Structure 1
Amino acid sequence: MAPSKRLTTCSALVLAAAMLAAAPAWGQGPVQVQSLAAPDMFSSPAAQTGLSGDLWKDASPGVAKEALPKLAAKPLSPAAAGLARRVLATGANAPAGIGDNPELGATRAMALIALGEAKGADAVLDRVPGVAGSAQLSMAAAEAALITGADDKACKIGEALSVERGAPYWLRLRAFCQAIGDQHDAAQLTFTLAAPQTKDADYARLMNALLSGAPAGAASLKNGINYALSRKLGLDVSAPAAVAAASPALKAAIKPADAVPPTDLTAAQASAVAALRGAKGLAAFTDAAKAAQPAIAALARADAPLEDPVLFARAALAADDPATAQAIRGKQTGDALPAGAATTDLALLDAALAAAGGKADSQVLDGLIERGAQGGAKSPAQPAALILAALGGVMGPEARASLATFDPGKSAAPAGRLIVLDDAATAGRQGETALLVLSIAADAGPSGPGPVDRARLVRALLKAGLEADARAFAVEGLLALQVK
């Protein structure tokens, strides 16, 4: 080193030492070192959700252990699925004591996959330590890779696994990986070993076709391995029959064809009406509404005469298109009823529109309560008023007195869970509130909880600061009252 450079370096060292020695004299005190929370199974985000990194602050580990497995295994209503996606995709340190639990980390990932977030789950699992030492984490990672089309990555995950390598899932994956890796004899042997351990007829059919060239039949979207086999065989994975029988994870993975506005509005309207009226239950109605949304939006823009405006407005709300729903409702003349509609139909539609707009309009709410009082306990206006009131609408004195007499059914949720839910919401424990809501919703099935429980969930979500989710649960509940 040149003399001048040595002098510069020495001067810098002397200055740094002097500054450190003088630090107490400047009033700064000793250097404070703060330890950051170690990354855990929940700290990596799967997507940007708008929720805080303090999501799980003070949340009960027991509540998480009870609720999380349901989200990976049970079908959820659209509103519950939306809340579950947001909560599970958020990067936040887990409730105390479970952040290093591989089983719960895998459950989070499998739930994300089931909810259509395979890409996000794949990114999360790339940052989770110890995947190769956990069969559950490795299976989640392999499924996420297969669903996102990264077959080679899934095969590497299977090769790296150090435990439970003889389980049926890994035999099926290994046979597939050997087949696409031109190891035909090894693939045939592994396939033979896997056959007695699995009852997946679609896997056997597809794997046999890959190995022998036999006719493959239709694509299967039951799981990631079958999906990868179907793609490898060049089968039509977007065929309506395949998509209809697909697992929720694969349904979300299949990119729908770009919607083309219909040219024959008369035929499009007839088709949409038939599909919507034929749908049984909220989940089927929501699927039909999403499929019919381009036609409904085109009809609304064209100001075409509508055969069933109330039905179409409901469908637009179910398809998350409140603007079209409002446009259809706005074309009604005052309170004039469309053919086949009842006054309660319009009242329920107005309630759903008010909830979608984020406000429990006092005029709409008071009118709904009045209609419920006139119609008695069997009127759908009573449970509808309960749900809309949970969003915090202002009621007049007479409306409050009437609502206090409504009793539209019994609660199906455990009483203790509802008490803990109210406590969590009041204390602002967002993550715990969300998990308790989701636990109750998962137990209720794909149509979601009944109106009595739903009103409690809407109020708790609103109180905990999860307003968008409260609105979604309210709209869904109001639509469920109108869908047979």
Structure 2
Amino acid sequence: MALSQRLTTGSALVMAALLSTSAFGPVFGQVQVQTLAPPDLFSTPAGDTGLSADLWKDTAPGIAREVLPKLAAKPLSPASAGLARRVLATGANGPTGVGGDPEMGAVRAMALIALGDAAGANAVLDRAPGVADSSQLSVAAAEAALITGADDKACKIGEALSVERGAPYWLRLRAFCQALAGQTDAAQLTLNLAAGQTKDADYTRLMSALLTGAPGGAANLKNGVNYAVSRKLGLDIQAAAATASPALKPVLKPAGDVAALAGGADLTAAQTADIAFLRQAKGLPAFVEASKASAASIAVLARADAPLEDPVLLARAALAAGDLATAQAIRAKLTGDTIPNAGPVDLALLDAALAAADGRKDGQTLDRLIERGAQAGVKSPAQPAALILAALGGTMSPEARAQFATFDPGKSAVSPARLVVMDDAAAAGRQGEAALLALSVSADAGANGPGPVDRARLVRALAKAGLEADARALAVEGLLALQVK
């Protein structure tokens, strides 16, 4: 063998030996290709919620897939809506197989929008991958943009979409965007195509007015596109409150004129108006909305020296609006046995709601409520109220326990199996799963929320799962609901 051949062969042997050593083996001999997990569409927060990044740990994917769509499609009671917004806004990797699913990412965003947090949905979707490749994610992104007034952004989302561009939603948005760009003929053609696919008389009326200059009629707040066209036409958005979907409620201005009260207006007339407004509210959501609209006025009344005509009603309204301090101030004024427009049970219910809102596990308040329930009988709201308050963990006296054990607060309307899984999730620390199951019960119950028996189970489970603030809110709401028409 020639010298050059021997050198070449030797070099090859040396290189082979080097590659087989521990120093080089891991680098050259153990290269592996790994498939990256899809980006998690639940990991971006919509805001600071105080919940941990382990929120969805060990949550059953099937429960998430069943419950999450309900949160966008079904009305929730105000307290349940607050819980839903909180868990959906939390930045935490979703349940296994759910967080990377574009459809479920869109469900999360649409639920946030439906719950009145379009700004939060914007924050989530601005960082979401693959929006242009998913019609569902793009619809959520466009609606969030329109509701927050970012019309140009919504139009760019529609332009970037790579799938299902001929769907009715995109035709309606495209006609609006073409009108914004001054492309009147193209917009009219697109409007005709949209009208041929689905009927939306309000949208057609509004867009025709935008294209022709004819009177637009009343504004419509059914969805983001209709709201954007109404806004572009300069229509009275406030007057369209009756057509506003929950997603668009935040764009409406609260009612009431507190400046006049602060300037020394007739407090008696203001109080009479507030009380009439609150008394005519039918159902829990309407009472909460009326309470929020009257909240600032009630706060002024509570600080004034003038006597209150219906102090318990005003205190309940302050609680419904989230103003615990004003409710406490009104309660502090109530002394003696005679309270205007209120009896002993009314006062016991108010004290129970105040204790729940303040996070006090007040055994005396619970005992007094139980005593009132025992005296008034099974038809008294004090008996179901005691069940709700007891769910927060107050200690009963021996006599109260004996009385409480005889109560008949009603029946459950929920599958016992669902309640068992919810209780198990709470005990095991599966916080997200416990919250979803509680929200499922509330969604199935409707806008007034679950009845007292089921509500008490939800309160206890949420408290056990570490969702104390949400448990208290659900308890306060239930206590108030017992006296709402």
TM-score (norm 1): 0.90
Distance 2:320 2:403 in 1: 29
Q: Does 1:173 align with 2:173?
A: yes
**Alpha-carbon distance change, 134 to 37 in structure 1, aligned in 2, over 3 angstroms:** closer
1:266 to 261, 265, 268: 268
Pairs within 5 Å for 1:458-469? 458-469=459-470
Instruction: After TM superposition, give the deviation of residue 384 of structure 1 in Å.
Output: 0.3
Instruction: After TM superposition, give the deviation of residue 206 of structure 1 in Å.
Output: 0.7
2:385: which partner in 1? Answer: 384
Q: Does 1:302 align with 2:279?
A: no
Q: Does 1:317 align with 2:315?
A: no
2:279: which partner in 1? Answer: 277
Aligned residues: 450
* 8 Å CA contact retained: 1:116, 1:253: no
Pairs within 5 Å for 1:30-41? 39-41=39-41
Distance 2:216 2:267 in 1: 39
**Alpha-carbon distance change, 236 to 482 in structure 1, aligned in 2, over 3 angstroms:** same
* 8 Å CA contact retained: 2:371, 2:403: yes
Aligned-pair Cα RMSD in Å:
1.8
Which one-letter code corresponds to 1:416 in the other structure? A
Distance 1:332 1:307 in 2: 12
Distance 1:63 1:357 in 2: 32
* 8 Å CA contact retained: 1:39, 1:93: no
Distance 2:191 2:422 in 1: 49
Deviation track 1:74-101 (CA, whole Å, cap 9, x = no partner) reads 1111100100010000000001111111
* 8 Å CA contact retained: 2:76, 2:449: yes
2:50: which partner in 1? Answer: 50
Distance 1:466 1:434 in 2: 8
Pairs within 5 Å for 1:431-470? 431-470=432-471
Which is worse superposed, 139-148 or 325-334?
325-334
* 8 Å CA contact retained: 1:265, 1:295: no
Which is worse superposed, 460-469 or 391-400?
391-400
Pairs within 5 Å for 1:56-95? 56-95=56-95
Which is worse superposed, 338-347 or 48-57?
338-347
Deviation track 1:141-164 (CA, whole Å, cap 9, x = no partner) reads 100011111111111111111221
2:242: which partner in 1? Answer: 244
**Alpha-carbon distance change, 324 to 120 in structure 1, aligned in 2, over 3 angstroms:** same
Which one-letter code corresponds to 2:230 in the other structure? S
SS in 1 for 2:258: coil
Instruction: After TM superposition, give the deviation of residue 230 of structure 1 in Å.
Output: 1.1
Instruction: After TM superposition, give the deviation of residue 441 of structure 1 in Å.
Output: 0.5
Distance 1:166 1:81 in 2: 34
Distance 2:245 2:174 in 1: 22
Instruction: After TM superposition, give the deviation of residue 115 of structure 1 in Å.
Output: 1.1
1:331 to 324, 330, 333: 333
Distance 1:329 1:149 in 2: 42
Distance 1:325 1:339 in 2: 16
1:341: which partner in 2? Answer: 342
Deviation track 1:386-433 (CA, whole Å, cap 9, x = no partner) reads 000000001111212222222211101111110000000001111011
2:481: which partner in 1? Answer: 480
Identity across aligned pairs (percent)?
76
Instruction: After TM superposition, give the deviation of residue 339 of structure 1 in Å.
Output: 2.5
Which one-letter code corresponds to 1:278 in the other structure? Q
Distance 2:255 2:307 in 1: 27
Distance 2:308 2:257 in 1: 21
1:254 to 252, 255, 259: 252
SS in 2 for 1:432: helix
Distance 2:216 2:442 in 1: 39
Distance 1:361 1:36 in 2: 53
Distance 2:287 2:463 in 1: 26
Distance 1:121 1:186 in 2: 31
Which one-letter code corresponds to 1:210 in the other structure? L
SS in 1 for 2:145: helix
Distance 1:415 1:38 in 2: 37
Instruction: After TM superposition, give the deviation of residue 257 of structure 1 in Å.
Output: 7.2
Instruction: After TM superposition, give the deviation of residue 37 of structure 1 in Å.
Output: 7.7
SS in 2 for 1:49: coil
Which one-letter code corresponds to 1:47 in the other structure? G
Larger radius of gyration: 2
Instruction: After TM superposition, give the deviation of residue 197 of structure 1 in Å.
Output: 2.3
SS in 2 for 1:187: helix
SS in 1 for 2:66: helix
* 8 Å CA contact retained: 1:74, 1:445: yes
Q: What residue ranges of structure 2 are gaps of 5+ in the alignment?
A: 1-21, 23-34
2:26: which partner in 1? Answer: none
TM-score (norm 2): 0.90
Which one-letter code corresponds to 2:285 in the other structure? A
1:366: which partner in 2? Answer: 367
Distance 1:225 1:340 in 2: 47
**Alpha-carbon distance change, 271 to 36 in structure 1, aligned in 2, over 3 angstroms:** farther
Distance 2:390 2:342 in 1: 24
SS in 2 for 1:52: coil
